[in-house]
Amino acid sequence: MATSQIEVAPISGALGAEIHGVNLASELDDGTIADIRTALLENLVIFFRDQDLTPEKQLAFARRFGEPELHDFVEGMPDHPEVIAIIKDADDAGYNFGGRWHTDVSYQERPALGSILYAVDAPPRGGDTLFANQYLAYETLSEGMRKLLDPLKAVHSAAGSYGPDGRAAKLGGNGYTRSMHVNPSDKAQEEMLHPVVRTHPESGRKGLYVNEVYTERFEGMTVEESRPWLEYLFRRATFEPFTCRFRWETGSVAFWDNRCVQHYALNDYSGFRREMHRVTLGGDRPA
């Protein structure tokens, strides 16, 4: 697709496209913003190269698509609390932030519309991010399985990540790395019901809406009863033909639609520093 403003170049058959011909730090006109929004809806995740964004500029761009929100458990920058600095230093332990397949903050009543991630310091190799198309994960299921899943709801919770006994608490101190400040709390024990199959409010397409980080069980079922079905859906949601892989460079930007995409930050850059700035946009209640 090409317009007078931008060029969109798909990077895989499943999802993802690089956007050329736009400077995100500039004051973009409404037509360009509309083109970017269309590209996001059509490609689910879009990428920009060679950008130079201050936190102020990143927030200004994000606000053209929605309202940036604070994270419940991860502290943002002191002067820009809506911007989370995701940092893993060269000598940090083996853990990394976002290192499992998930969709951002699905434990909230109104989970994120999307997230915008900017590479401040990308390693010379490794540290790629994988993305998975949840429309395809649903649409390629058998008719019988789709009918089974359509009416179901699932319980989402942040307890496993941010609860008093969750992953962040077990890592101690600041959470994942010494450069990030993660605050486990009892708030993470709260549970939220969402449909297993979500209808996108703009495209009208249906997609799977479960993920291994925050989805705990089906409504009305035990964890043990739910686990075999959920494990199948987790594998299905991230089936390789439904994915794309993005190679980061310093100055790269990824903007993904959390309503129909899962993502996974690879942790294969030991000995190198990686710093990313993330802004997350508030969304609506899944239906």
Helix, strand, coil percentages in the chain from 3-state DSSP, rounded to 5: 25, 25, 50
CB-based contacts of 144, cutoff 8 Å, min separation 6 = none
**Residue 263 in contact with residue 246, Cβ under 8 Å?**
no
Told to judge if 104 belongs to the known catalytic residues of this protein, a careful annotator would answer yes
Quick check: 118 and 86 in contact, CB under 8 A?
no
6 vs 59: CA distance, rounded Å: 21
Residue of 71, 104, 194, 236 marked catalytic: 104
Nearest to 36 by CA among 12, 66, 14, 68: 66
Active site residue 278: yes
For 230, the enclosing helix (H) or strand (E) is helix 223-237
Q: Strand ranges (DSSP E) for 129-200?
A: 129-133, 153-157, 191-195, 197-199
Cα–Cα distance for residue pair 33/167, rounded to 1 Å = 38
Catalytic residue among 200, 263, 274, 277: 263
Residue-wise DSSP of 140-164? TS-HHHHHHHTT-EEEEESHHHHST
281's tokens: 């946009």
Catalytic member of 156, 200, 236, 278: 278
**Residue 263: active-site member:** yes
256 forms beta bridges with 45, 115
Residue tagged active-site, from 71, 102, 198, 274:
102
Cβ atoms of 106 and 282 closer than 8 Å: no
- What letter represents residue 187's amino acid? K
Active site residues: 102, 104, 263, 278
